[in-house]
Amino acid sequence: MKKAMTRMMQVASVALLISCSAGDPFSDYTNSWGDNWGNDTPSENSSGSSTTTGDLTTFTVNIDQTSAEPTDAATEYMPDEEDALENSTFTTEVAIDMASPTAKTENGVEITVNGGHITANHGSTKNICYVLSGTTSNGSFTVVGDKKYEIKLNGVNITNPDSAALNLLSGKRAYIVLADGTSNTLTDGTSGSQKGALYCKGKLLFNGSGQLSVVGNTNNAIHSADYIVFRKGNNIYAKSTANHGIKANDGVFINGGIINVEVTAAAAKGINCESNIVVNGGRTTVITTGDGTYDTDDQEAKGAAGIKADSTFTINAGELWLKSTGSGGKGINVDMDANFNGGSVYVVTEGGQFKSNNDTSSPKGIKVDGDINISGGTIWVRTSGYNGEGIETKSQLNISGGEVACYAYDDAINSKGDMTITGGYVYAQGKNNDGLDANGNIYLKGGLVYAICSGQPEVAIDANTEGGKKLYLTGGTIVAVGGLESGSSLTQSCYQSSSWSKNTWYTMTVGENTFSFRTPSSGGSGLVVSAATTPTLQSGTSVSGGSSFFGGLGIAGGTISGGSSVSLSSYTGGSSMGGGGGWPGGWH
């Protein structure tokens, strides 16, 4: 299937960020991608080759070793204007050498030392900047005080076997500045009661373009009891072997940077927030490898997730690369609404279903309890494990723009409530189930939809007619391998070919527009098409140029040559052929 459906795209690799060394957490990984038809597209890793290839059915996700951030970025979001470092001044520097600490009182700051463990108390003194350097294998740096402060990490390496390496107990804003050209590491041990190797009681605000590696072996790697803000230039690696990679109680706001997260514990989350998560830029990569587990407190089975938001999730720009390999794992898991307004999201899940105590956690590319709203950007999802759905909402799904492509083990795109598509480009292949599936109504009003089901009794586009719901097709351009749900309301005319050839390029022409698509190696019987005006269909075509979508499985426009005409007949939905389809009311 994968080989048959692959249309390989050449992509240029991005220059490496740093040289590899034994102590470098990035050294075992490479990742490459490039630019194609205006969007960053993923690539299959190829042993560090300068040119690699990849598409929807084969792309992978590895730790990001590059330095160039995406140029795509939205306006920075700060919950408060005071969160921006440039709106504050920290002119009083207090130097701390972790390798040779000295107790002292300096510029209103009291420094106490207990072995390698240092506590700095600036009390009510303003404008303090702590400058940390040096290495300790048994030490820590703790801050207390009643005023906001800055910590400049200037080539510091702190390991604390018993508690947090950086323990920011002041409840005021902590501005962490990664000094340009420096490499900094924070590591805790396997004992202690700390919440993170880097723990902050107040707002945690990252600045600067140096490198920071944080490894949590007891709990989280990075934890703020308030919110966390990342900015352009940040280069941060967070790893936890015991819990979450990055944890915040009141919000995570990614405005830029290169953020890498790895977690290995059962049901651990790469980025976990009890409130909102907003992505406005940068490139964030998260890999989870832990299996599911049974939560005895909540009495339910839970899986890992690349990103978990207990409130809302929004992406306006930037890139997310998410991979979950354990049972029950998810790429994005959101308790309220998820809004995809721009940027690029690439998700791979490889684990199967997790079962325990008569409960299950199924793998999902994107799982949302509230509404999913997609108005722009690129979303690619691939699931390969048992019961793995691509995109699922427990509420309503609305697509008005962007590119959405799902290649899933189970349903590709599923909504418990109504599903409405008014624009954008949508590809949905359910390898063992439906392409598009709604327990409510489906309203197809615009956009381009290419849907594929596994075969009877599944259909390419499935509304809940058993529950009194319908598919309402009033516009758009549709291609459906496997047909439409019985009882569909087809205001826009549909046409069928009773058979189709596998692994073949077809071209549908509507007026002056063409859409070429490659058929799968297996799928439902029958091919249905629909558009604003009566289409024509050719099989066995060759296409050059045009705009590529869905990892090369669809091409809009281009120069068409060869092929043979396909006979089309009127289609009313749900016939014994097993399927049907349609296309957008104009290009979006």
Per-residue pLDDT reduced to its tens digit, 101-117: 999 999 999 999 999 99
Q: How many Å from the N-terminal Cα to the C-terminal Cα in the chain?
A: 29
Residue 558's pLDDT is: 93
Q: Which of 182, 185, 186 lies closest to 164, judged by CA?
A: 186
Q: What span, in angstroms and rounded, lies between the C-alpha atoms of 93 and 149?
A: 10
Mean pLDDT taken over the chain? 89
Q: Which of 458, 457, 456 lies closest to 428, judged by CA?
A: 458
Per-residue pLDDT reduced to its tens digit, 523-567: 988 999 999 999 999 999 999 999 999 999 999 999 999 999 999
Residue 40's pLDDT is: 38
| Residue 494, phi then psi, degrees to nearest 5 | -120, 155
Q: pLDDT at residue 38 above 70?
A: no
Among 24-38, 79-93, 244-258, 324-338, name the one with the lowest average pLDDT. 24-38
Residue 574's pLDDT is: 66
Band of the pLDDT at 181, cuts 50, 70, 90?
A: very high
Among 149-158, 274-283, 574-583, name the one with the lowest average pLDDT. 574-583
Stretch 55-78: mean pLDDT = 90
- Specify burial of residue 28 (Cβ count, 10 A radius: 0-12, 13-18, 19+): exposed
Cα separations (Å) of 423 from 63, 237, 346, 399, 420? Answer: 33, 37, 20, 6, 9
Residue with tokens 């009127």: 570
What is the dihedral angle through the alpha carbons of 28, 229, 332, 291, rounded to the nearest 10 degrees? 50
Q: What span, in angstroms and rounded, lies between the C-alpha atoms of 475 and 422?
A: 8
Q: pLDDT at residue 586 above 90?
A: no
Tokens at 195, concatenated: 């919440």
Torsion-angle region of residue 140: left (phi > 0), alpha (psi -120 to 50) or beta? beta
Q: pLDDT at residue 236 above 70?
A: yes
- List CB contacts of 326: < 8 A, sequence separation 6 or more: 266, 288, 289, 290, 291, 292, 303, 304, 351, 354
Per-residue pLDDT reduced to its tens digit, 304-322: 999 999 999 999 999 999 9
Residue with tokens 């990679």: 245
Q: pLDDT at residue 423 above 90?
A: yes
Q: pLDDT at residue 579 above 50?
A: no
Confirm whether pTM is higher than 0.85.
Answer: yes
Residue 469: count of CB within 10 angstroms of its CB: 18
Residue 92: count of CB within 10 angstroms of its CB: 18
Q: pLDDT at residue 587 above 80?
A: no
Q: pLDDT at residue 582 above 50?
A: no
Tokens at 504, concatenated: 């073949």
Q: What span, in angstroms and rounded, lies between the C-alpha atoms of 283 and 232?
A: 10
Q: pLDDT at residue 222 above 60?
A: yes
Per-residue pLDDT reduced to its tens digit, 245-265: 999 999 999 999 999 999 999
**E strand or H helix that includes residue 114:** strand 109-114
Tokens at 281, concatenated: 């830029």
Residue with tokens 């001044």: 89
Tokens at 524, concatenated: 């439902």
Cα separations (Å) of 368 from 317, 333, 360, 390? Answer: 20, 6, 17, 11
Q: What span, in angstroms and rounded, lies between the C-alpha atoms of 586 and 423?
A: 9
Band of the pLDDT at 72, cuts 50, 70, 90?
A: confident
Cα separations (Å) of 244 from 4, 19, 268, 297? Answer: 38, 27, 5, 18
Q: Which of 37, 30, 71 lies closest to 55, judged by CA?
A: 37
Stretch 473-478: mean pLDDT = 98
Stretch 507-523: mean pLDDT = 95
Q: What span, in angstroms and rounded, lies between the C-alpha atoms of 10 and 513?
A: 26
| Residue 431, phi then psi, degrees to nearest 5 | -65, -25
Residue 498's pLDDT is: 87
**Residues present in the chain in total:** 588
Q: pLDDT at residue 13 above 70?
A: no
Q: How big is the CA angle at 442 (ends 438 and 443), to the nearest 5 degrees?
A: 160
